[in-house]
Structure 1
């Protein structure tokens, strides 16, 4: 529709021919680009994907849908104007195969779980088209459980922006001697696009590259301007390696400098300011034992040692750090209020970055927020999957505002003309014996 007015509530009704389907519901348009509204309330969270309470061998990897729904219901009760789902909307890591290679180091377990997954969901044919083949059936079975069954119509009156990350390409970001999962291959990109086209909308106001999936812009009049960045789908290796494609980086930096918004944010799917020793990070930090020279930290492997720069991280790219410095420098140089919100690392935390390599931010530090996961359970916390909690990278200095806490959570960001308040909501879920429901247990508020 081309005749909608800004900052106006409308009613939307779905019809099947002449028959109404369900009840009408309200939709509120955003303020006009040149308007300066009094306030904006933004909900942010990450990693909501995962099978309904999926686990094996005594471990639960993802929380049950009931827990996740209660967490999101608590968030929606705070009446946000918009919401950010930052990456990992599904977990179905194929490792280049047709079904997830769960238990690949234990052949009998892998065989048993493989038969179960084929029976319940089916198996991808990597040589076939995604839509109009049996692949579409498999895709919808996964999307129905992990996305549609979680959200239903709960967000029908709240604009929800889905930012992609590694698992949305049906792979974890692995770099091992026998397998490197990114850059995403043709199948992974087709699967990611097909899932997105079926279950969530493209991002708005971004550059043409990536077809509205790799970058977007969330503007709320002149009060807030946020750049949304997928740090997986356009990843490159070698030469001028980047987590975000060059054209998108250029657009993001240019927009940062030109935006007239009172408050500005970079919202990358992978965080600036934290490391868990993963391969596809801006930083070279890795978990290693004394004497190790080159290390590949395998997901759910038997990682031992400490997090730091004591060894080389296998296939890590220095170009990623160079891009990190360019993005952070652009944000630091901007006048007025600016901050970062991100996902991927399964934890709730906040800090102010005061030094990044040779970039001195001590006079005007930049706040970085980990907005908290929705679905993590026994086996998916960094301390369980990687052997360490997330931490400040060695090349950074930062003031801790909220310590890294491995809990399911969400953040409400309240923005007014003069301030940005971040309300971090701890919903628990680390210890199943506590029987937590997904409702808010504790809250912490900081000023960005």
Structure 2
């Protein structure tokens, strides 16, 4: 059984970092109105609007946009080598750079140059990961969920209320997390919110009169790019990505996952519409967001190239869009999986992830080559808010979760797959059975002791909700659904940190002996924005390998 040590900041320690309280409203409306400031972190980003990289042990993939758009093809200098840019879209503003043949564990100096040779921004550095057979002594990750939100949709709400945390405050939280110098960042789903057809969520998002006034209306019978849909798409998505990230992540490899809202809808099911699995237009929207703004997953020797959403002919060779790997030598392998992309509605044989994906996940958990194997699904095991598209059959009635009433359109096969995966997690000998997820707009930690008839008491599964970066008043489960994240009836859980509906993130430190999780929280109704700049963990949990 994995052992743990837990630390919760006492009143005295917390008082040293507690900010002044504000009576109501958002923590600093002036800060919320700030945009990206080139050079604000002492780096001149020149014509770069945003710059987001990912890496593995021998390759970089970088997405970037420029203002004004580039008239010629830019180059990326990587050490002594030069890589030609590939245009994403026809406007000349969005480009990608695929750099291969690199040495592992090596920092490289990067320089972006316009077609005429002029530098487009200040040079910066980016490092490759350790080789798969190397044994690094540490790894640090920043992890959060629900990073999206369109500032314009906060307009017209009651005084002091938000739909999403303003992007300037999300950016500030991001900067605080980056100040701990993580080796990589994982953003677990819901990078954008622009719901179009979900009966409940779309009314406050892309299908609302305000949303239509901001971006316009999509024609679902037309392609995204090269039609009027592209203008609608860019108006809906760009303000959720570019001001928040800018070039902050230029030296931090990122792994952006997708969940329901990244397909431009909430998971909802009624007699009139079932929003998932994604139809063709939803899939094209999700692919377009990744194409323009953030990188696909680079290949991993142990991840099949034929999984759903991988090796598409219109993407760089071998990359994946839905199922990814963060491999850091022999120290850690992080399994990243989108549970919406291949979701089915086949009753007792229904799945959230395709059978080939399930086989890959179980094979990696059974393999003994890596010290730590961690599961990061886009939908959380451990808790429920009674939503339709969850692992669990619980439904909300009279303010409580119950299984006495059948949840309409919920599929029994989803829970069967949950149990198969959790059984594989708990069966890993010599490892910490850890699952970190998002989606539920909360910060939480618990131990899954059993799932149905499966007894995990000899090796309880550590389950964590990493914390939402961008959730606002209308997005908390207690506001949107009438109940916060709760333990479903199918599970026996030991809740060491009951779900907290506040913005936040975690910093996870891996060594060969342990995984240490530091939890950060921010309440924009009670804390001033400047508190973010010195935010300290309110809880620390150390998990020891058995």
| TM-score, normalised by the number of residues in structure 2 | 0.74
What is the CA-CA distance between 1:438 and the residue it aligns to? Answer: 6.8
Match of 1:251 among 360, 374, 378: 360
Match of 2:125 among 19, 26, 42: 26
Partner of 2:465: 370
For 1:37-84, what per-residue CA distance to the aligned partner results, in whole angstroms no more than 9, with x for missing partners? 010001100001011163344141101111101100000000000010
What is the CA-CA distance between 1:119 and the residue it aligns to? Answer: 3.5
Contact 1:270–1:281, Cα closer than 8 Å, also in 2? yes
- SS of the counterpart of 1:26? strand
| TM-score, normalised by the number of residues in structure 1 | 0.90
Does residue 136 of the first structure (1) align with residue 230 of the second (2)? yes
Contact 1:428–1:436, Cα closer than 8 Å, also in 2? no
Partner of 2:106: 8
User: Counterparts of 2:134 and 2:220 in 1: how far apart (Å)?
Assistant: 49
Relative to structure 1, is the Cα distance of residues 313 and 157 closer, same or farther in structure 2, using a 3 angstrom cutoff? same
- SS of the counterpart of 2:119? strand
Does residue 349 of the first structure (1) align with residue 457 of the second (2)? no
Contact 2:337–2:378, Cα closer than 8 Å, also in 1? yes
Partner of 1:296: none
User: Counterparts of 1:438 and 1:136 in 2: how far apart (Å)?
Assistant: 39
1:45-444 equivalence runs, <5 A: 45-52=144-151, 54-55=153-154, 56-58=156-158, 59-95=161-197, 101-102=202-203, 113-114=208-209, 116-204=210-298, 205=300, 206-207=303-304, 208=306, 209-211=308-310, 212-239=320-347, 240-289=349-398, 305-337=399-431, 338-429=433-524, 432=525, 434-436=527-529, 439=532, 440=535, 442-444=537-539
User: Counterparts of 1:122 and 1:147 in 2: how far apart (Å)?
Assistant: 19
Partner of 1:301: none
User: Counterparts of 2:529 and 2:227 in 1: how far apart (Å)?
Assistant: 41
What is the CA-CA distance between 1:142 and the residue it aligns to? Answer: 1.9
What is the CA-CA distance between 1:149 and the residue it aligns to? Answer: 1.6
- Shifted more, 60-69 versus 79-88: the winner is 60-69
User: Counterparts of 1:96 and 1:409 in 2: how far apart (Å)?
Assistant: 27
What is the CA-CA distance between 1:308 and the residue it aligns to? Answer: 2.4
User: Counterparts of 1:81 and 1:243 in 2: how far apart (Å)?
Assistant: 30
User: Counterparts of 1:33 and 1:85 in 2: how far apart (Å)?
Assistant: 23
**How many pairs align?**
422
User: Counterparts of 2:515 and 2:495 in 1: how far apart (Å)?
Assistant: 17
Q: CA RMSD in A?
A: 1.9
User: Counterparts of 1:218 and 1:383 in 2: how far apart (Å)?
Assistant: 33
For 1:130-185, what per-residue CA distance to the aligned partner results, in whole angstroms no more than 9, with x for missing partners? 11111111111222100122111100100110111000000100011222101111
- SS of the counterpart of 2:123? strand
User: Counterparts of 1:54 and 1:421 in 2: how far apart (Å)?
Assistant: 37
User: Counterparts of 2:226 and 2:250 in 1: how far apart (Å)?
Assistant: 28
What is the CA-CA distance between 1:118 and the residue it aligns to? Answer: 3.3
User: Counterparts of 1:79 and 1:438 in 2: how far apart (Å)?
Assistant: 19
User: Counterparts of 2:429 and 2:526 in 1: how far apart (Å)?
Assistant: 48
- SS of the counterpart of 1:175? coil
For 1:338-390, what per-residue CA distance to the aligned partner results, in whole angstroms no more than 9, with x for missing partners? 31111100000011111111111101111011000011111110110110110
User: Counterparts of 1:253 and 1:355 in 2: how far apart (Å)?
Assistant: 19
For 1:223-257, what per-residue CA distance to the aligned partner results, in whole angstroms no more than 9, with x for missing partners? 00111000112110024101111111111111211
Relative to structure 1, is the Cα distance of residues 96 and 344 closer, same or farther in structure 2, using a 3 angstrom cutoff? closer
- SS of the counterpart of 1:21? coil
Relative to structure 1, is the Cα distance of residues 53 and 444 closer, same or farther in structure 2, using a 3 angstrom cutoff? farther
What is the CA-CA distance between 1:428 and the residue it aligns to? Answer: 1.9
Contact 1:173–1:181, Cα closer than 8 Å, also in 2? yes
User: Counterparts of 1:43 and 1:317 in 2: how far apart (Å)?
Assistant: 33
Relative to structure 1, is the Cα distance of residues 308 and 3 closer, same or farther in structure 2, using a 3 angstrom cutoff? same
Relative to structure 1, is the Cα distance of residues 340 and 327 closer, same or farther in structure 2, using a 3 angstrom cutoff? same
User: Counterparts of 2:396 and 2:212 in 1: how far apart (Å)?
Assistant: 35
Contact 2:223–2:229, Cα closer than 8 Å, also in 1? yes
What is the CA-CA distance between 1:436 and the residue it aligns to? Answer: 4.5
